[in-house]
Chain A
Amino acid sequence: MVFSSGLFLLYFLPIAILMYQIIPGSFKNLWLLVLSLAFYFWGAPLFIYVVLGTSLANFIFVRQMQKPNSNRKFWLVAYITSNLLLLGVFKYFNFFAQNFSDISEYAGNGTVSFFEIALPIGISFFIFQSITYAVDVYRKEAPALNKFTDYLFYILFFPQLIAGPIVRYKDIAKQIIIRKLSNEQFVSGFHRFSIGLAKKALIANTLGEFYMKLQYGQGILGFESSSTAWLMALTYTMQLFFDFSGYSDMAIGIGRMVGFSFPENFDKPYLSKSITEFWRRWHITLGTFMLHYLYIPLGGNRKKSSRIYVNLLLVFFLSGLWHGAAWNFVIWGLFHGFWIILDRLFLKKVLEKLGIVSILFTFFVVLNGWVLFSANSMAEAWHNFEVMYAFNGVEITYQPYFGYFTFFLTLSLILVIISAIKPYYNLRDFIPREKAGIWNSVTLLGITTLLYAISFCYVLAADYNPFIYFKF
């Protein structure tokens, strides 16, 4: 089940929100926990037991850590090690086993067969979230939770379980126990949710369809077009942003509707003037996690330059690997690490003087990075680059409804550009004129309702594509 599905919008969300209004305060968290368990169980009935078992073990570890005279560091290390081991086994076993098999074959010893392990959905997110709990408690930045159900609720809370934002425990610790839900927060939450839904259902899905059609068209006539390859890269760049940021908006919106303030995850990333700035604006919560739980513990900026660069490469290597168990993700991570180091060496100072050129340059670098990210393998990524940089002058392969798709691509670019201006933020955060905003509150509510209604129709119709002669 995903937020942009008929099941979620038609059944799950209305029941969740309506009942949340009715249920007395002491049971609200329990209700959200039940919903979260149901949400995860629907998507991964086998793995719910992994999550429950892991969470129980984690909770016990931290309880042990909190005991007087306990060896806190031991329990923290045990906690982090066991969680990373779990992540390593479920997410990376197949990757390393396949590489081992490839090396064995290359060495002439034949392939090695292995038992493939299935990947529990959301594991990357809930493991990282679990780690923040233990570390924040260890650092005494937030108190440990007394009830296992509260801990489970923090780990499994459905808005951010599958795709983030990665919510640091200390940012949310107080809200788990006590939170106030104002009408304004509820309204702005639903508004944010509607915007996210529109980004996903109207823009990202359309761009995704365009990308698939372009990909199908490439090579269909026996040769590949550089123009099409660049168009694919641009389409994917925009699709990924609207998909991911849309999902984050929905998560933030739902959180707000039940009284939570989740951190922002995207802040105009495609208007960044350098890769360094890009990583402060793209998937912010991952960057924050890596900064506070990896980079700073490794020494941060306090070490000598060569060590800083090694640490940066390591952080981005792991970031890449975290995104996916494949070499193209690793190379993508290192690609960004490389540019970050260049920024530190000299590039950022140069770009600061170039104004809009720096934005275009950074966008160009990021777009190339997404070519790596979107490929199914390094070979495919390399091939895509070859076609792109051939500049072979072959026309874009004709696409039916080309105007329709390029409209949405253009719209996505315009939205990215105008996201720098105040009316956009007033719109996104439901800041009415009465609160020094630009928009009348009725107008904002009207936009909310319209976006939700249109997106709802598009979600319901998502699987509708009848074949005229199915009868025949």
Chain B
Amino acid sequence: MDSVFKKYKIWILLVLVTPLLLTILQFPKTNPLQGVEELKAEEKLSWTEGTAQKYYENLWVRSSVVHPIGVKLRNQMDFSFFKKINVHNTYYNDGIFYRFYNDFQTDNTLFQGEKVLNKKFEQYKELYRLLKKRNKTLLFILTPEKHHVYYKQVPEINRAKNSDSSNYRYFINKFTETGLPFINFDSYFIENNLKKPYRLMAETGIHWTNYGAAVALDSIVKYLSIEQNTQYQNLEYKLGKPVKLNWMDNDLLTTSNFPIKPKAGPLADIYVTNADAKGKKIPAVLIGDSYFHAILWTQMKDAVFESNTYFYYYYNTEYDYFGNAHTIELKRLKKQVDEAECIIIESSPMNTENFGFGAIEKMLQILRAEEK
């Protein structure tokens, strides 16, 4: 029996030491984890307060080749056995990845009330009028919401109660009533997502896919061409099977870091064919949230927008055409609005709580001053 235990002991020593050996040898080469923030040291690391220990512990463990293997295996086990997703605020149900706060909260409980929303809408109308005076179009686009497009798979407990008491329904009604320039991609995607050859919004992502963004952008360009009475260059692209998807196409799945990915609907890569074409492009100011990233960090931007197009992300950040971030300055915004032909405000239904992201007020401030 002792010889048997001796063999077992050797096995155990191998089990214990192998991860360390692999770490030293930096073998096998593994792909890094997706969506994980790089480890940053605090400014002052202290051994007596424990911050140094914590930092080095994390560093030595994360720099090991077995770390991504362990994380991926853990994520896979949790998903395969329990359908648990180890991404902040994310869950899975019936083939769909959702974010927790996409549901009943956003549709009903964040309703700001008619008084607040009326004020916002009045400001928007005034901005529209002032921009129209200057031959500029103000367009509002409502991007699709995950739990609207995949409504059937939302667990019962998370289902929105159908009610008009929601911010986004308020804006849909108002835009429809007043006829102000508005495109409702939410309802379009609900209707067409499963009919298209590729997903407009992936089961495994939070935003529209690249294909969805391309379809939307195509509509936007055509709409603005009519509004501005100008023939802007349309987006031209080819669809192909994905070689390397833009990570936003299925960002939740990517961040989940599974070795074995669950089945989902077909996704397509977008190959823009007229990025370098010299047609008339749109000089614009874009205000919105992360949905615009699918356009702005791809060649779709080059095909459609002029190089003096600027993107305002939420309340605090402005990106120029080349992706450089700046803090928002009124002086710069004024120049950008002066040069722009179109101002596009984008919001998902959830984000209609932040309608305009503070930019409407800033632009009004600028334009009212000019009127005086």
Which residues of A does B touch, CB under 8 Å? 1, 5-7, 9-11, 13-15, 17-18, 21, 42-43, 45-46, 182-184, 186-187, 190, 398, 400-401, 403-404, 407, 434-435, 441, 445, 448-449, 452-454, 456-461, 463-470, 472
Known: A10-B60, A449-B11, A468-B252. 11 other contacts (CB 8 A): A5-B57, A7-B57, A42-B53, A183-B6, A184-B2, A448-B12, A449-B15, A456-B70, A461-B71, A466-B35, A468-B90
Q: Is the CB of B37 within 8 A of A466?
A: yes
Q: Is the CB of A17 within 8 A of B16?
A: yes
- Chain B residue at smallest Cβ distance from A16: B16
A19 to chain B, nearest CB (A): 11
Whole-angstrom CA separation of A183 from B66 in the bound complex? 28
Whole-angstrom CA separation of A404 from B86 in the bound complex? 12
* Chain B residues whose CB sits within 8 angstroms of the CB of A43 once the complex forms: 53
Instruction: Tell me, yes or no, whether B36 is within 8 Å of chain A by CB.
Output: yes
Taking A18-B16, A404-B84, A468-B255 as contacts, is the C-beta distance between A457 and B77 under 8 angstroms?
A: yes
- Chain A residue at smallest Cβ distance from B206: A468
Q: Please report the number of residue pairs spanning A and B whose Cβ atoms sit closer than 8 angstroms.
A: 139
Kindly identify which residue among B64, B71, B99 contacts A468, using a CB–CB cutoff of 8 Å: B99
- Chain B residue at smallest Cβ distance from A458: B74
Which residues of B does A touch, CB under 8 Å? 1-2, 4-6, 8-9, 11-13, 15-17, 19-20, 23, 33, 35-37, 47-48, 53, 57-58, 60-61, 64, 66-67, 69-71, 73-75, 77-78, 82, 84, 86-91, 99-100, 157, 206, 251-252, 255, 290, 293, 313
Q: Is the CB of A404 within 8 A of B255?
A: no
Q: Is the CB of A183 within 8 A of B2?
A: yes
- Chain B residue at smallest Cβ distance from A8: B57
* Chain B residues whose CB sits within 8 angstroms of the CB of A10 once the complex forms: 19-20, 23, 60-61, 64, 66
Kindly identify which residue among B58, B64, B99 contacts A463, using a CB–CB cutoff of 8 Å: B58
- Chain A residue at smallest Cβ distance from B19: A10
B99 to chain A, nearest CB (A): 7
B3 to chain A, nearest CB (A): 8
* Chain A residues whose CB sits within 8 angstroms of the CB of B9 once the complex forms: 183, 186-187
Q: Is the CB of A461 within 8 A of B74?
A: yes
Whole-angstrom CA separation of A449 from B74 in the bound complex? 16
- What are 19 A-B pairs with beta-carbon distances under 8 A? A1-B53, A6-B67, A10-B61, A14-B16, A14-B19, A21-B13, A182-B2, A182-B5, A186-B5, A187-B12, A401-B82, A407-B82, A457-B69, A461-B75, A466-B35, A466-B87, A468-B88, A468-B89, A472-B313
B35 to chain A, nearest CB (A): 5
Main secondary structure of the interface of B (DSSP, over half): helix
Q: Is the CB of B2 within 8 A of A400?
A: no
Whole-angstrom CA separation of A303 from B48 in the bound complex? 49
* Chain B residues whose CB sits within 8 angstroms of the CB of A457 once the complex forms: 69-71, 73-74, 77
Q: Is the CB of A460 within 8 A of B84?
A: no
With a 10 A CB-CB cut-off, give which of B9, B11, B89 has the most chain A CB atoms: B9
- Chain B residue at smallest Cβ distance from A408: B82
Whole-angstrom CA separation of A43 from B5 in the bound complex? 35
- Chain A residue at smallest Cβ distance from B3: A183
Q: Is the CB of B57 within 8 A of A460?
A: no
- Chain A residue at smallest Cβ distance from B247: A471
Q: Is the CB of B61 within 8 A of A6?
A: yes
* Chain B residues whose CB sits within 8 angstroms of the CB of A7 once the complex forms: 57, 60-61
- Chain A residue at smallest Cβ distance from B78: A404
* Chain B residues whose CB sits within 8 angstroms of the CB of A464 once the complex forms: 33, 36, 71, 74-75, 86
Kindly identify which residue among A9, A184, A459 contacts B5, using a CB–CB cutoff of 8 Å: A184
Main secondary structure of the interface of A (DSSP, over half): helix
* Chain B residues whose CB sits within 8 angstroms of the CB of A182 once the complex forms: 2, 5
Whole-angstrom CA separation of A315 from B218 in the bound complex? 79
Whole-angstrom CA separation of A1 from B58 in the bound complex? 11
A449 to chain B, nearest CB (A): 6
B80 to chain A, nearest CB (A): 12
* Chain A residues whose CB sits within 8 angstroms of the CB of B84 once the complex forms: 401, 404
Q: Is the CB of B252 within 8 A of A45?
A: no
B32 to chain A, nearest CB (A): 12
* Chain B residues whose CB sits within 8 angstroms of the CB of A5 once the complex forms: 57
A213 to chain B, nearest CB (A): 12
Whole-angstrom CA separation of A5 from B11 in the bound complex? 22
Q: Is the CB of A461 within 8 A of B4?
A: no
* Chain B residues whose CB sits within 8 angstroms of the CB of A398 once the complex forms: 157
Taking A11-B60, A454-B77, A466-B87 as contacts, is the C-beta distance between A186 and B70 under 8 angstroms?
A: no
B147 to chain A, nearest CB (A): 14
* Chain A residues whose CB sits within 8 angstroms of the CB of B90 once the complex forms: 468
B367 to chain A, nearest CB (A): 29
Taking A184-B1, A461-B86 as contacts, is the C-beta distance between A190 and B12 under 8 angstroms?
A: yes
A23 to chain B, nearest CB (A): 14
- Chain A residue at smallest Cβ distance from B252: A468
Whole-angstrom CA separation of A449 from B9 in the bound complex? 12
Whole-angstrom CA separation of A58 from B313 in the bound complex? 65
Whole-angstrom CA separation of A423 from B124 in the bound complex? 73
* Chain B residues whose CB sits within 8 angstroms of the CB of A448 once the complex forms: 12
* Chain A residues whose CB sits within 8 angstroms of the CB of B78 once the complex forms: 404
A171 to chain B, nearest CB (A): 25
Whole-angstrom CA separation of A255 from B122 in the bound complex? 74
Whole-angstrom CA separation of A61 from B372 in the bound complex? 91
Q: Is the CB of A460 within 8 A of B74?
A: yes
Q: Is the CB of B19 within 8 A of A466?
A: no
Whole-angstrom CA separation of A470 from B34 in the bound complex? 12
Q: Is the CB of B19 within 8 A of A434?
A: no
- Chain A residue at smallest Cβ distance from B82: A404
- Chain A residue at smallest Cβ distance from B251: A468
* Chain A residues whose CB sits within 8 angstroms of the CB of B252 once the complex forms: 468
Whole-angstrom CA separation of A14 from B67 in the bound complex? 16
Taking A43-B53, A457-B77, A460-B71 as contacts, is the C-beta distance between A466 and B255 under 8 angstroms?
A: yes
Whole-angstrom CA separation of A407 from B83 in the bound complex? 13
Whole-angstrom CA separation of A398 from B19 in the bound complex? 39
* Chain A residues whose CB sits within 8 angstroms of the CB of B75 once the complex forms: 461, 464
A458 to chain B, nearest CB (A): 5
Q: Is the CB of B70 within 8 A of A460?
A: yes
* Chain B residues whose CB sits within 8 angstroms of the CB of A445 once the complex forms: 8, 11
Q: Is the CB of A452 within 8 A of B37?
A: no
B179 to chain A, nearest CB (A): 33
Kindly identify which residue among A18, A407, A460 contacts B13, using a CB–CB cutoff of 8 Å: A18
* Chain B residues whose CB sits within 8 angstroms of the CB of A434 once the complex forms: 1
Q: Is the CB of B313 within 8 A of A467?
A: no
B226 to chain A, nearest CB (A): 32
